[in-house]
Amino acid sequence: MFIDCARAIIPTFVLDRFAADVTLSDQTRSALLSASQHASGWRGYRVSLSPSARHAKLRPTTSVRPLQPSILLFDCRGSTSQPGDLIEAPETSTIEAARHIHRKMTELTNFYKRIFNRNSIDNHGMGLLSSIHFGENYPNAYWNGAQMIFGDGDGEIFCNFAQADDVLAHEFAHGVTQFLLGLGFWDQAGALNESISDVFASVFRQWRMRQPSDRADWKIGSTILGPKAIERGYTCLRSLSTPDAVECIAPQPKHMRNYDADGDPHINSGIPNHAFYLASMATGGNTWDRLALVWYSALASGRRQPNMSFEEFAKLTIARATALFRNTTDVPRAVEQAWRDVGVI
């Protein structure tokens, strides 16, 4: 069993591995080790909002749902105090990361509205909070239960997390999962939690680039790799198509025969990740037109299940595929076969 509170995209075992690499600079190793220790201190963590954040409109004050949720950005200025100083008019800010996040967050909320008819993370127009420049060369990004946090990266293994569309979408999806299934962060439920974030991060990236499933690279974190990671032959953090590939910084099992009962959720998430990939390739076309609708429908099934297993989620996706695509058998059949191919059912 592995338990944690925040939902970070880089697992601690990856941070620890590179922190022990003596070929990296002392500054990088220190940043990686500090990030690992910070993650270890998340248990029991509570967000302490600054005055500027306390006055921010996290939820609309009326029953009318806003067409566009407010997007609030904060600058931690290298500190670990959250959320930091409010950035006025982030869309025109001189801070590049602020402009980028505001633009991509707008695209992301539009994506959820157009594809899933979802209004922000909570579906009620919840204001979206993000903090940039968190910590000193902090090599991670995470959802803390109330907002998204982005570090600048150590500069050698990981680069600025605020610039990565799939990182932003991954952390956003953790918030959506929190409001819907309420998955825990342990055992198979934790792996599903991570997988759902990877799936919707990949779909968002494909939607933005208008890539059908057979043209997508299916990689997570390809744009956050620093020069030292690229030198070592890494091309991504994780891959939905080839979870066990050596090009992944954090290779994962893609079949239940290799499930690690004591593993970090980031490890075992490769199995449901690969199931989504296989189903998408079998149905073809755009993932956001069919397969993403099935996964979202399962996520929004109406009952919180913090201890959900792979098999329970698999059966739920098969049922939702059957309900959504009554006039065809190819989608339900592809979903069921994908879960069989990874050994879940």
Name the catalytic one among 174, 266, 274, 336. 266
DSSP of 28-76, one letter per residue?
A: HHHHHHHHHHHHHTTTT------HHHHTS-SS-SSSSPPSS--EEEEE-
Name the catalytic one among 156, 171, 194, 336. 171
- Report pLDDT digits (tens) over 307-316: 999 999 999 9
- Is 174 catalytic? The answer is no
Q: Tell whether 261 and 301 lie within a shared domain.
A: yes
Domain boundary residue, one of 113, 146, 179: 179
**What CATH number did the domain enclosing 99 receive?**
3.10.170.10
Which of 174-178, 217-221, 298-302 has the least mean pLDDT?
298-302
DSSP-derived pairing of the beta strands 85-86 and 128-134: unpaired
Please give the pLDDT value at position 136. 95
Is 126 a member of any domain?
A: yes
Q: Tell whether 103 and 249 lie within a shared domain.
A: no
Burial 324-341 (b: 16+ CB within 10 A, else e): ebeeeeebbbbbbebbeb
Q: Tell whether 199 and 300 lie within a shared domain.
A: yes
- Report pLDDT digits (tens) over 222-267: 999 999 999 999 999 999 999 999 999 999 999 999 999 999 999 9
- Report pLDDT digits (tens) over 2-55: 334 458 999 999 999 999 999 999 999 999 999 999 876 554 343 334 333 333
Q: Tell whether 166 and 285 lie within a shared domain.
A: no
Q: Tell whether 71 and 131 lie within a shared domain.
A: yes
Is 139 a member of any domain?
A: yes
Domain boundary residue, one of 179, 200, 235: 179
Is 35 a member of any domain?
A: no
Q: Total domain count for the chain?
A: 2
Is 15 a member of any domain?
A: no
Is 66 a member of any domain?
A: yes
Q: What is the span of the domain harbouring residue 101?
A: 53-179
Is 6 a member of any domain?
A: no
Is 230 a member of any domain?
A: yes
Cα atoms in the 13 Å half-sphere on the side-chain side of 15: 25
Q: Tell whether 154 and 240 lie within a shared domain.
A: no
Please give the pLDDT value at position 309. 97
- Report pLDDT digits (tens) over 114-133: 999 999 999 999 999 999 99
Please give the pLDDT value at position 102. 96
3-state secondary structure 90-119: HHHCCCHHHHHHHHHHHHHHHHHHHHHCCC
Distance of CA 251 to the CA centre of its chain: 16
- Is 266 catalytic? The answer is yes
Average pLDDT estimate for 47-74: 55
Domain boundary residue, one of 151, 179, 207: 179
